[in-house]
Amino acid sequence: MSIEDDIAFLSQVPTLNLLGRDALRILAIGAESRYLRAGELLFGLGDLSDAGFVVQEGQIKLVLGRDSGGHELHAGPGTLLGETALLVETRRPGTAMAVEETTVLRISRSLFLKTMEGFPDAAARLRDMIAARTANAARDIGDVAGLLGKFDEID
């Protein structure tokens, strides 16, 4: 893929599209393409994270939690894995494995943060999106807590 193809591809990822074309150009230039064979591990539960990955082709199976009965998700092209890892060091909450031949773009945290430093407007849009998500999550937690409280009243 050319840099222009990578920019166009990254712009289809909702979180990354917020950043704008110029910031995406930097990410596209600095991102590393990684090929995985079917069954190959992208990352494991508890691994330290230093990058996010965007699935370009193929499919990744994510198993969240410690046991084989954990919650399982499938991620296809255009999915950003490890969004939080782009911003802070964290541990992977699950295991990610290629279901089939898969290509991902690896965006290192250092590249992402340097890009945000160079594009403060992009960083502000990202901050606003994270703030909105956090407010929505807090509201949802409050709604669930309220429902659980009603169940306590029934007992």
- Show the domains of the chain with their CATH numbers: 3-119 (2.60.120.10)
Per residue in 18-36, pLDDT (tens digit) is 999 999 999 999 999 999 9
Q: Are strands 102-108 and 32-36 parallel, antiparallel or unpaired?
A: antiparallel
**Measured between alpha carbons, how far is 99 from 41 in angstroms, rounded to an integer?**
10
Higher pLDDT, 78 or 133: 78
At 150 the pLDDT is: 67
CB 107, CB 35: distance < 8 Å: no
Scan for tokens 């069954």, then name that residue.
Answer: 39
